Chains A and B, each alone.
Chain A
Amino acid sequence: MTSPPASDLILSMEQLALSFGGVRALAGVDLQVRRGTISGIIGPNGAGKTSLLNCIAGFYRPQSGRIVFDGRDITRVPAARRPALGLARTFQNIALFAGMTVLDNIKLGAHCHLKTGVLSALAFTAEARGEEEALREEVERDIIDFLEIEHLRNRSVASLSYGLQKRVELARALAMRPRLLLLDEPIAGMNEEETEDMARFILDIQEERGITVVLIEHDMGVVMDLCDRVTVLSFGEQIAAGTPAEIQADPEVVRAYLGTSGAGVRRG
């Protein structure tokens, strides 16, 4: 397997290691993500998938190793600065802001791209007003229409079903105008119809908008269908990486899965 030229990579990790008080979560992971692809990270529970995502998003700081995003070493960039660089994520256990409407939750995603300061906000100056109106248009056109949530705009997020909340979370992540979108179990807990919708959205995000997607998911069928490339983690180590077909044929992956009580490798 030849490694692609650096400019083709939007994300690359070198020897990423993370531990919590002696418990190793990641033990030297190398992961490379090519621009404009959908990559999947799979592995049994506790394999370090979410830890990896948290390192990319900046919530955890790895003890060693490097994370390079779009040619820039972001290993030490604070979490709050990363969205401005083009990184967005959704959360495994939905982290919407319960006190806000759907619309405000989505608008919040654009926070780091907006400029209104405290004083112009208090006075609601022409600039502040203009920025809000432009944002509203962008959200309506590019996100609300796209994700088919027109009817939810003014609902409180707390009143939505689990599946719809996940969709609003995706909407909020899109409002962050990402170049790399990290999805932590985007379809977990969804029914079949919601799953199909979400899979379609993820494909559209990649194909129509050229946004690179990295996702963690337990549903093998969806992972194998959506992803261009799959990385398998087990106990914090990368045990395989390749196309879905290669992964399915990999004996070590099969062993890792059968050796645990986690989900088996299956299609559909």
Chain B
Amino acid sequence: MDELLQFLVSGVVTGGIYALIAIGFVVVYKSTGVINFATGELMMLGAFFAWTAMAVAHLPFAAALLVAAAGAAAVGALVERVVLRPMLGQRPISIIMVTIGLSSVFKGIAQVVWGGEYRSFPTIFPRRPVELGPVVLPSRQAWPFLIAVAAIVLLAALFRFTRTGTAMRATANDQATAFGMGIDIRRVFSLSWVLASVTAALAGVVVGIIGGISPQLGAVGLRIFPVVILGGLDSIGGALVGGIVMGVLENLAGGYLDPLFPGTGVKEVAPFVALVLILMARPWGLFGTREIERL
């Protein structure tokens, strides 16, 4: 029983981080219709920004987070303006491939700037494990999880209570009407990329604290697909729920199935099997919008 609880809790921890990554992805999809394959690489860049601020410039952690956010925001704005905007209205294949191309460029640049080897963050949090009732979480999981939760809460508040958030939601619902209401759509597009990049950077820092940083960190970006398909590609609440569910599923599969198939990494593949099943049963996910065919 304790074992199950342990799996569930580490599932929720993983899931909270997935949720954060997925939210950045959904923000861009919801307001611009772009499937952002560069999410993982934006995370990686954010993590390196924060690492550089701490390890090279010896800034405190909070300042490093700000540096990461600012750097990512600049990258996001630049990418939207220079690459994505000229692509508006192109076929989905082009949009997908342009973000894949960007991810390759980011990975290459990171290797040039920071080299290919693994790095880890300087110690930030107390090493003492965090105890939550019967469950014990190692410090380097518990604290990043808390950062992820804080970031999610912050983002939700931003969407709910600020004018910009309202404008973004309106644009996502109906671009034409939003335009008619005087909302500057281009600004909203740009903002979504900035917001998504900042979110990705925070997620990157979180992932980097747990597992170290390298130019390969972006590979974790692939994991968001099961999450966003479960939650619904255009639902922020869905990203949250999908993240937690997939995190738990992954950990349960790892805990109970891995011993049956030793050394196979069932954990890695289980979410994708789930993804296929969801697509067959309910492609728009739990909370996504069902597309309606029109002639």
Min C-beta distance of B206 to chain A, whole Å: 44
Min C-beta distance of A239 to chain B, whole Å: 25
CA distance A125 to B295 in the complex (A): 36
Query: Which residues from B are CB-within-8-Å of A95?
Result: 295
Query: Which residues from B are CB-within-8-Å of A59?
Result: 295
Q: Is A257 an interface residue (CB 8 A)?
A: no
Query: Which residues from B are CB-within-8-Å of A54?
Result: 295
Min C-beta distance of B94 to chain A, whole Å: 14
With both beta carbons as reference points, the residue of chain A lying nearest to B295 in the complex is identified as A59
Query: Which residues from B are CB-within-8-Å of A91?
Result: 295
CA distance A59 to B294 in the complex (A): 10
CA distance A93 to B295 in the complex (A): 9
CA distance A91 to B295 in the complex (A): 9
Min C-beta distance of B133 to chain A, whole Å: 49
Query: Which residues from A are CB-within-8-Å of B295?
Result: 54, 59, 91, 93, 95
Which A residues between 45 and 96 are near B, CB-CB below 8 angstroms? 54, 59, 91, 93, 95
Write the A160-178 contact mask toward B (1 if CB under 8 angstroms, else 0). Answer: 0000000000000000000
CA distance A95 to B294 in the complex (A): 12
CA distance A54 to B295 in the complex (A): 10
CA distance A208 to B168 in the complex (A): 58
Interface size class of chain A, counting residues whose CB lies under 8 Å from the partner chain: under 10
* Chain B interface helix/strand/loop/mixed: loop
CA distance A11 to B295 in the complex (A): 23
Min C-beta distance of A88 to chain B, whole Å: 16
Min C-beta distance of B295 to chain A, whole Å: 6
Min C-beta distance of B285 to chain A, whole Å: 22
Min C-beta distance of A13 to chain B, whole Å: 20
With both beta carbons as reference points, the residue of chain B lying nearest to A92 in the complex is identified as B295
CA distance A95 to B295 in the complex (A): 9
With both beta carbons as reference points, the residue of chain B lying nearest to A59 in the complex is identified as B295
Which A residues between 77 and 121 are near B, CB-CB below 8 angstroms? 91, 93, 95
With both beta carbons as reference points, the residue of chain B lying nearest to A95 in the complex is identified as B295
Write the B41-78 contact mask toward A (1 if CB under 8 angstroms, else 0). Answer: 00000000000000000000000000000000000000
With both beta carbons as reference points, the residue of chain A lying nearest to B293 in the complex is identified as A59
Min C-beta distance of B43 to chain A, whole Å: 37
CA distance A93 to B294 in the complex (A): 12
Which B residues between 237 and 295 are near A, CB-CB below 8 angstroms? 295
Query: Which residues from B are CB-within-8-Å of A93?
Result: 295
CA distance A98 to B295 in the complex (A): 15
Min C-beta distance of A79 to chain B, whole Å: 11
Min C-beta distance of A58 to chain B, whole Å: 12
Min C-beta distance of A129 to chain B, whole Å: 32
CA distance A167 to B295 in the complex (A): 20
Which B residues between 136 and 175 are near A, CB-CB below 8 angstroms? none
With both beta carbons as reference points, the residue of chain B lying nearest to A50 in the complex is identified as B295
CA distance A59 to B295 in the complex (A): 9
Write the A230-259 contact mask toward B (1 if CB under 8 angstroms, else 0). Answer: 000000000000000000000000000000
Min C-beta distance of A61 to chain B, whole Å: 13
CA distance A34 to B27 in the complex (A): 56
With both beta carbons as reference points, the residue of chain B lying nearest to A57 in the complex is identified as B295
Min C-beta distance of A265 to chain B, whole Å: 28
Write the B9-20 contact mask toward A (1 if CB under 8 angstroms, else 0). Answer: 000000000000
CA distance A54 to B293 in the complex (A): 14
Min C-beta distance of B89 to chain A, whole Å: 13
Min C-beta distance of B274 to chain A, whole Å: 32
Min C-beta distance of A260 to chain B, whole Å: 24
With both beta carbons as reference points, the residue of chain B lying nearest to A93 in the complex is identified as B295
CA distance A150 to B295 in the complex (A): 29
Min C-beta distance of A100 to chain B, whole Å: 16
With both beta carbons as reference points, the residue of chain B lying nearest to A60 in the complex is identified as B295
Write the B205-225 contact mask toward A (1 if CB under 8 angstroms, else 0). Answer: 000000000000000000000
CA distance A181 to B295 in the complex (A): 19
With both beta carbons as reference points, the residue of chain B lying nearest to A91 in the complex is identified as B295
CA distance A140 to B295 in the complex (A): 30
Min C-beta distance of A127 to chain B, whole Å: 34
Min C-beta distance of B39 to chain A, whole Å: 31
Min C-beta distance of B4 to chain A, whole Å: 44
CA distance A41 to B73 in the complex (A): 57
Min C-beta distance of A97 to chain B, whole Å: 14
CA distance A91 to B294 in the complex (A): 13
Min C-beta distance of A2 to chain B, whole Å: 37
Min C-beta distance of B92 to chain A, whole Å: 15
With both beta carbons as reference points, the residue of chain B lying nearest to A54 in the complex is identified as B295
Min C-beta distance of B122 to chain A, whole Å: 55
CA distance A77 to B295 in the complex (A): 19
Min C-beta distance of A51 to chain B, whole Å: 11
CA distance A234 to B149 in the complex (A): 57
Min C-beta distance of A41 to chain B, whole Å: 17
Min C-beta distance of A229 to chain B, whole Å: 26
Chain A to chain B contacts (Cβ below 8 Å), 5 pairs: A54-B295, A59-B295, A91-B295, A93-B295, A95-B295
Which 5 A-B pairs have CB atoms at the shortest separation, nearest pair first?
A59-B295, A91-B295, A54-B295, A95-B295, A93-B295
